[in-house]
Amino acid sequence: MPSEPNHILEFPGGYTRSVGPVIGRFFSDLRDGRLTGVRTAAGKVLVPPAEYDPETSEDTTGEYVEVGPAGTVTTWSWVPRPLKEHPLDRPFAWALIRPDGADTALLHALDVGVFEEGAKPPKFLKTGMRVRPKWRDERTGGIGDIECFLPEVTMINAPTRLEYRMKGGRTLQRFLEGVSEGRILGDRCPVCEQVIVPMKGICPRDGVPTTEEVELPHTGTVTTFAVNNIPDPRAPEVPFVSAYVLLDGAGLTMLTLVAGIPADQVRMGMRVKAAWRPREEWGRTMNNIKWFEPLDEPDLPFEAIKDYT
Amino acid sequence: MANACAIIGIGQTAYKTKRLDVSMAGLLREAARRALDDAGLTWKDIDAVVVGKAPDLFEGVMMPEPYLADAIGATGKPLMRVHTAGSVGGSTAIVAASLIQGGVHERVLTIAWEKQSESNATWALTVNSPFTTSLVVGAGGYFAPHIRAYMRRSGAPDHIGALVAVKDRENALKNPYAHLKIPGISREMVEMTPMLWEPIRYLETCPSSDGACAMVLASEDAAKKAPNRPAWVHGTAMRSEPMMFAGRDTVSPQGGKDCAADVYRQAGITDPRRELDCAEVYVPFSWYEPMWLENLGFCGEGEGWKLTESGATALDGDIPWNASGGVLSSNPIGASGMIRFAEAALQVRGQAGEHQVDGARRALGHAYGGGAQFFSMWIVGSEKP
Ligand SMILES: [Zn+2]
């Protein structure tokens, strides 16, 4: 950290400098919100403009060229801890910026967003980055008329939210009513005579209304499963097992959580039963069943469940 | 009898994790303009536009086709959007082809795309209602149990999935548009990657990509004026089935078998392994190669993994599958089906470059979607049927 000064030398009112016709033109245009360069005899455009070509020392041509205001970062240096004299009070970059149409770069501060003091430069800060000046509202004719440069807009955020009033429908309500009483309800198709669970009101295969409500036991068999290792805030803690369970008497499987056993010990053919939450926590939701857990019964052979996989 | 339909233009974008350099419209235009250039046409030569993509929640633009209409040259022309989940790229091409086959139009532009980087597909695929419990598993979590069932039913050894993962990524090295490029990819490398949804390993899954694919389909008259050699449609078919019903075979769905039988019948094919020269098949998880080999009748039940293991489906095998690197190497979901269809057409046009199958004359393009419940397929040939 710089130490506090114990002596200050300051010319009252500041020095007055005549800027001459070339820099004067640059500053006047800055005050109007424009970036201007000057052409050299060799055809190059210098920004900021100078009265002379720095390569040949010859006078520049007096032909002024409007450049930018957008430009490209040619190199940069990151300032993780800005000093109080710096143009920004949060981490920023000093950058050499070549305005479009210019052959030289000018130095300015580049604001790339909000970062905590000491932060590392963001990955998107790169040589080649496209930037534009942020003009001050009140301009006086100086390089400070540009507050800083900002990256060009490459992405916008589009918040999206839909609100619904959903109804589950008669069949689902009936199923959830059953679950709220600790019962698992299915329904039987009059054509294929299979029991569909959770009850649907129709047979998806035959396309006909079901005709008979069937209460199913809470026991079944794991037909097949996945061990999920990808964490998600909405999912159970990994590893968790999502399994297809064929309830005894059902014609098709249900996708459920299988727990109460290490994930690597779950098997095809394993017998399981529903693990219900305490009765006082029940509602009209499948969450009443926490998961399915192993039953102390021998596994079914694969042949017995093969047709349900 | 339907009119002949030719593929006279094909355009693809580079497939990448994030195409931040283009807007959604720009992405489609990149593919479309390449297809128009290939066909020697301009926007004004097109009679109708058929677009396809996967669910709107993938990018969060509700019904993007009206917003894109002018960007894809549909101003004042018929514009249609197709949606059949992951198989949509294939179905979109089939709808476009039907407009030619039915004699409605002379030149139809068809485009499919996805810009997955704008959102999160796993989130979009796991939107629950207040009445159902959530088991956030994504597509991999959904397919993993069915792959496990296939392994058990067929007795396939564990390493077959890794063989496909290697083969398709080796092919991708020969495809300039492919997303995943893994030089030196090996079975050991695949087997060392973590199990995401056991039995699926990281390198046995597809990437998530931004990209678009476009084709110009044309009548016979219009095809005569095309600067480059066309491919010809020999058959198209689509099938669907519910995701859950009693007696459903989830490993080898009936919908897939019926769809294949239909498209083979139209193309006069009785032995696909012998009569087709190559196939571009939707394989987003490596195990789906042996599974679809069986479902599509390239071999008997339980034999798919043996075909894969024998090397028959490699670029130098007798029936190369996914010479382009397939979905395992590039997966802009909505476009993935159309890429399969377009790559099949590239092969029979002899325009597949480094991944060209020598002398390919007839090829299958295949796509599936949802819970392996939507299927679309076409067979294309170098000769007019
Ligand atoms: Zn039925």
Assess whether pLDDT exceeds 70 at residue A1. Answer: no
- List of chain B residues whose C-beta atoms are within 8 Å of the C-beta of residue A160: 60
Residue ranges with strand state E in A103-261: 106-110, 130-135, 146-151, 184-188, 195-196, 212-216, 219-228, 240-247, 254-258
CB-based contact A91:A80 (threshold 8 Å): yes
Q: Tens of pLDDT along B319-378?
A: 999 999 999 999 999 999 999 999 999 999 999 999 999 999 999 999 999 999 999 999
Phi/psi of residue B265, nearest 5 degrees: -60, -45
**Other Cβ atoms closer than 10 A to A136:** 15
Least Cα distance to A242 among A215, A218, A222, A214 occurs for A222
Q: pLDDT tens-digit profile of A158-169? A: 888 889 888 888
Lowest mean pLDDT of A294-308, B122-136, B198-212, name the range: B122-136
Specify the pLDDT at position B1: 60
The reply to whether residue B242 touches residue A228, judged by beta carbons under 8 angstroms, is no
The rounded radius of gyration (Å) of the Cα atoms in chain B is 19
**Residue bearing tokens 């709107």:** B56
**Between these two residues, B323 and A3, which has the higher pLDDT value?**
B323
Domain boundaries along the sequence of chain B: 1-134+207-281+324-385
Give the model's pLDDT for residue B153. 97
* H/E segment holding residue B344: helix B333-349
Q: Are strands A271-276 and A254-258 parallel, antiparallel or unpaired?
A: unpaired
Calpha distance A24→B295 (Å, rounded): 79
Structure confidence by residue, pLDDT tens digits, B1-33: 699 999 999 999 999 999 988 999 999 999 999
Q: What share of chain B is helix, strand, coil (3-state, %, to 5)?
A: 40, 20, 40
Shortest distance, CA B55 to any CA of chain A (angstroms): 15
Beta-bridge mates of residue B285? B205
Mark yes or no for CB contact B135/A176 under 8 Å.
Answer: no
Question: Per CB distance under 8 Å, which residues of A are interface residues toward B?
Answer: 154-155, 158, 160, 166, 168, 172, 176, 189, 192, 194-196, 203-205, 223-230, 232, 234-236, 239, 242-244, 251-252, 255-257, 268, 285-287, 302, 306-307, 309
Residue of chain A whose alpha carbon sits nearest to that of B136: A235
**Contact residues, chain B, for A176 at CB < 8 Å:** 131
Segment A35-63 mean pLDDT: 90
d(CA B288, CA B284): 7
> Quick check: helix, strand or coil at residue B324?
coil
| Contacting residues for B76 by C-beta, under 8 A, at least 6 apart | none
For residue A78, what pLDDT is reported?
97
Range name among A9-13, A270-274, B280-284 with the lowest pLDDT average: A9-13
Q: Which helix (H) or strand (E) holds B149?
A: helix B138-154
Residue A53 pLDDT grade (very low, low, confident, very high; cuts 50, 70, 90): confident
Contact between A97 and A75 (Cβ < 8 Å): no
Task: Flag if A226 and B198 touch (Cβ within 8 Å).
Answer: yes
Q: By the CB < 8 Å criterion, does B136 face chain A?
A: yes
- Whether residue B136 contacts residue B272, with contact meaning beta carbons closer than 8 Å, is answered with no
pLDDT tens readout for residues A138-180 = 999 999 999 999 999 988 998 888 898 888 889 999 999 999 9
Model confidence pLDDT, tens digit, residues B90-129: 999 999 999 999 999 999 999 999 999 998 887 888 777 7
* CATH of segment(s) B1-134+207-281+324-385: 3.40.47.10
Nearest-CA neighbor of B285 among B218, B224, B354, B372?
B372
Say yes or no to pLDDT of A17 above 90.
no
pLDDT surpasses 80 at A2: no
Instruction: State percent of chain B over pLDDT 70.
Output: 99
User: Residue B136: is its pLDDT beyond 90?
Assistant: no
CB–CB contact A309 B251 (8 Å) = yes
Select from A196, A234, A306 the Cβ nearest to the Cβ of B246. Answer: A196
Interchain CB contact of B253 with A (< 8 Å):
no
- The per-residue pLDDT for range B173-195, each reduced to its tens digit, is 999 999 999 999 999 999 999 99
Contact between B136 and A204 using a beta-carbon 8 Å cutoff: no
Q: How far is the CA of A187 from the centre of ligand 1 (A)?
A: 10
Q: What is the mean pLDDT of chain B?
A: 95
Return the ∠ at Cα B230 (arms to B229 and B233), rounded to 5°.
155
Residue A250 has pLDDT above 60, yes or no: yes
- Beta strands of B15-173 (E only): which ranges? 48-52, 79-82, 107-115
| CA-only gyration radius of chain A, Å | 37
Q: Is A9 left (phi over 0), alpha (psi -120 to 50) or beta?
A: beta
| pLDDT mean across residues, chain A | 93
Q: Is the pLDDT of residue B217 over 70?
A: yes
Q: Which helix (H) or strand (E) holds B153?
A: helix B138-154
pLDDT category at B39 given cuts 50, 70, 90 is very high
**Angle formed at CA B342 by CA B341 and CA B348, multiple of 5 degrees:** 95
AA letter at B149 = A
Cα–Cα distances (Å) from B360 to B243, B279, B356, B384, in that order, read 35, 10, 8, 14
Tens digits of residue pLDDT in A278-306: 999 999 998 999 999 999 999 999 999 99
Tokens 């959903």 correspond to: A166
Least confident of A208-212, A224-228, B57-61, B185-189: B57-61
Name the nearest CA neighbour of A289 among A259, A261, A265: A259
Nearest to A257 among B135, B144, B246 (CB): B135
Give B283's contacts (C-beta < 8 A, 6+ positions apart).
B164, B168, B289, B292, B321, B322, B326, B327, B328
Report which of B83, B108, B86 is spatially closest to residue B98, judged by C-alpha positions: B108
The CA distance from B83 to B85, in Å, is 6
